[in-house]
Structure 1
Amino acid sequence: MANWDQLGQELEQLKEQGRYRPLSVWQSGSGTWMKIGGRRVLQMSSNNYLGFTDHPAIKQAAIDAIEQYGAGSGSVRTITGTLSIHEQLELELAKFKQTEAVLVFQSGFTTNQGVLGSILGEKDIVISDALNHASIIDGIRLTRAAREIYAHKDMDQLEALLKRSSGYEKRVVVTDGVFSMDGDIAPLPAIVELAEKYDAFVYVDDAHASGVLGKNGKGSTDHFGLHGRVHIQVGTLSKAIGVVGGYVACSQVLKDYLIHKARPFLFSTSAPPAVAAACLAAIQVLGQSSELTDRLWNNTNSFRAALQAIGFDTGVSETPIIPIIVGDAASTMKFSDRLLEEGICAQGIVYPTVAADKGRVRLIVTAKHTDEDLQFATRVLQKVGQEFGLV
Structure 2
Amino acid sequence: MEKKAQDEFVEYCDFIVKSGPFDGYQAVEHIIHGKQGSTVVADNMQTVHNFCSNNYSGLAGDPRMVEAAAETMKTHGYGLSSAPLMCGYQDIHKKLERVIADFHGTEDAILYPSGYHTNLGLFQACFNENDALFSDQENHASIIDGMRLCKAKKFVYKHLDTKHLEEQLKKADEYRFKCIVTEGIFSMEADILDLQEYVRIAKKYNAMIYLDECHSVGTIGKTGRGCIEYSGVDPKDITLISSTLGKAVGGGGGGYTAASKPIVDFLRQTSRTFIFSNSLSSPIIGASLRAFEILEEEQWRFTKLKENSLRFRNGMRKNGFYIYGSDDCPICPVFFRDVYYSKYFEVGLMKLGYYTIALAYPVIPMNTARTRIIITAIHTNEQIDGLVDAFKFLADNSTFFEDMKNNTKVMESQIGYAEMAQKSYDLKMSKAAIASPLSAKL
Scaled by the length of structure 1, the TM-score of the pair is: 0.97
CA distance in 2, matches of 1:370, 1:173: 39
Structure 1 range deviating more: 224-233 or 147-156: 224-233
2:339 aligned to which of 315, 329, 332: 329
CA distance in 2, matches of 1:149, 1:15: 24
- Taking CA–CA contacts closer than 8 Å with sequence separation of 6 or more, which of the two structures ends up with the larger relative contact order? 1
**Number of the residue aligned with 2:386:** 376
CA distance in 2, matches of 1:115, 1:174: 12
Contact kept? 2:209, 2:238, Cα under 8 Å: yes
* Residue deviations 1:123-156 (CA, integer Å, cap 9, x gap): 0010000000000000000000000100000000
* Residue deviations 1:17-59 (CA, integer Å, cap 9, x gap): 2421232211121111111212111111110011111222222
Percent identical pairs in the alignment equals: 30
1:60 aligned to which of 67, 80, 96: 67
Structure 1 range deviating more: 331-340 or 159-168: 331-340
CA distance in 1, matches of 2:340, 2:318: 26
Name the SS of the counterpart of 1:215 in structure 2: coil
* Residue deviations 1:294-320 (CA, integer Å, cap 9, x gap): 111111111111111111010234301
**Number of the residue aligned with 1:33:** 39
Structure 1 range deviating more: 219-228 or 118-127: 219-228
CA distance in 1, matches of 2:63, 2:46: 25
**Number of the residue aligned with 2:244:** 236
* Structure of greater Rg: 2
Deviation at 1:387, TM superposition (A): 2.6
**Number of the residue aligned with 1:274:** 283
Pair 1:85–1:14, CA change in 2 (3 A): farther
Contact kept? 2:21, 2:362, Cα under 8 Å: no
Deviation at 1:182, TM superposition (A): 1.4
**Number of the residue aligned with 2:169:** 162
Contact kept? 1:209, 1:219, Cα under 8 Å: yes
* Residue deviations 1:244-276 (CA, integer Å, cap 9, x gap): 111111010010000011111000110110001
Contact kept? 1:18, 1:333, Cα under 8 Å: no
2:89 aligned to which of 82, 95, 119: 82
Pair 1:389–1:249, CA change in 2 (3 A): farther
Contact kept? 2:345, 2:391, Cα under 8 Å: no
Contact kept? 2:131, 2:176, Cα under 8 Å: yes
CA distance in 2, matches of 1:25, 1:111: 27
* Residue deviations 1:190-214 (CA, integer Å, cap 9, x gap): 1111111110000010110010111
Unaligned runs of 5+ in 1: none
CA distance in 2, matches of 1:28, 1:333: 25
Scaled by the length of structure 2, the TM-score of the pair is: 0.86
* Residue deviations 1:89-128 (CA, integer Å, cap 9, x gap): 0001111111111111110111011111110111001000
Contact kept? 1:212, 1:293, Cα under 8 Å: yes
Unaligned runs of 5+ in 2: 402-442
Partner amino acid for 1:367? Answer: A
Partner amino acid for 2:341? Answer: S
CA distance in 1, matches of 2:382, 2:28: 30
Contact kept? 1:17, 1:330, Cα under 8 Å: no
CA distance in 2, matches of 1:76, 1:307: 48
The answer to whether structure 1 residue 263 and structure 2 residue 269 are counterparts is no
Contact kept? 1:323, 1:363, Cα under 8 Å: yes
Q: What's the Cα RMSD here?
A: 1.3
The answer to whether structure 1 residue 341 and structure 2 residue 351 are counterparts is yes
**Number of the residue aligned with 2:367:** 357
Deviation at 1:14, TM superposition (A): 6.0
Name the SS of the counterpart of 2:110 in structure 1: strand
Structure 1 range deviating more: 327-336 or 160-169: 327-336
The answer to whether structure 1 residue 223 and structure 2 residue 230 are counterparts is yes
Name the count of aligned residue pairs.
391
